[in-house]
Chain A
Amino acid sequence: MKWGVIVFPGSNCDRDCAHALADALEQDVSLIWHGETSLGEIDAVVLPGGFSYGDYLRTGAIAQLSPIMPAVKEFARAGGLVLGICNGFQILLEAGLLPGAMLPNIGLSFICDDVWVKVENAETPFTRRYASGYVMRFPIAHAEGNYHTDPVTLAALQANAQIVFRYCRADGTVTDQANPNGSLDNIAGIRNAAGNVLGLMPHPERCAESVLGNEDGQLLFRSMIDAVMAGQDKKQTTT
């Protein structure tokens, strides 16, 4: 399977993502400079973490206007799998590929920590390898992860099972105390209504191999591989 990882000026998890995919998961990965206007032949695209454009104006606000973004939007519109991690999530929000916006963390601090995260929806192309309600230790590193949206959109996210990951306690209960950044409804990751675009603040690429002591992030990428392979099998049997 072919992956594209977008490199914005200021991305700093692009190579981590490429490493996790190429070395831990033996995938075919190309780094795609944000100044390109085509994604080429790929099956999934990753918008990595970092500080694109130095977070000028707002996180993701400038990156969403990069030359590559119309191609990412078209790829998403056509049903391609789009994964935004941390700053990548912020870019997807600013680009309108996911609803809502990020506010500064409620404590105003940059948080670099491992936190408990729960898989709320294991029926997505990004989470099928997880058991429903699975609780894992996930690394976060951000200053703007305080997800916000209007009450109508939040109700729609809840009703359509678009909230995919939530911050929780070790036993899986979702509490204010377990919320590291003030995020609305403890949201750590959401998907779009169509189900092919996911944004999350935690970093699966930082916990995708045994040498790091945590391989839970690998299941997210493996879920995407399963989804793409299943799609390709379907195509082959119908043509």
Chain B
Amino acid sequence: MKILVPFKSVPDPNDATVVGAAASTPKSVINPFDEIAIEEALRIRERGEAAEIVGITIGAPTVDEQIRAALAMGVDRAIRIDDSRALDPYAVARILRVLIEKEAPHVVIMGKQAVDDDSNQVGQMLAGLLRWPQATFVSKIEFLSNKTRARCTRETDAGLEVIEIKLPAIITTDLRLNEPRYVSLPGLMKARRKSIEVLTCDQLGVTVRPLTTVLSTARPPKRAAGTRVESVEELVTKLRQEAKVL
């Protein structure tokens, strides 16, 4: 089985000083949900259910650092679509679609959302464009029937749901699917010898233009800090008399 994992570089969400900061160049990392997708692909290969994992990302040469990190985790080879425009999810889905048709994987695993843009669209759009089945927000994957189907547990607003999908299909990952491994030194050494193929949209024969544009960004008004109370009695009195919520 061949697994394809699209991933995105995002500003490190664990670096609190980075969020929204304009002054310094934020450190980039693989989008945490996509890292979970990579980890799942590695585990599937380690179980002997997949032979090859291909990583795909879109961006300028600066994202090569995250590609090396994916290769160091254990991804077999990587493709970078050289495009530094501010693409929207639908443009990303249209580019990925062409590459997926070319690579013909049995399954595509990717994060449910990128933690910078929080759109949660690309996987579903890709499934729609390809007319493939989809399983979103997945916390467990099992392959069945000689790997022609996958049984997926989904995290929904109403609790866990189990569905079965025919392959090929798109699976998007939720937080509790796994905990990604750390990159090892031998992994890093091996990654240096792995290839990064660079392609352009022209070479792929795909013309896309983002249809949504961010005109501006701003910080929301800060919620003012309130008061400290010293006891349960004082808290209950405030909630009753001042806030009038009890």
A binds B: no
B interface residues, Cβ below 8 angstroms from A: none
By a beta-carbon cutoff of 8 Å, the part of chain A in contact with chain B is: none
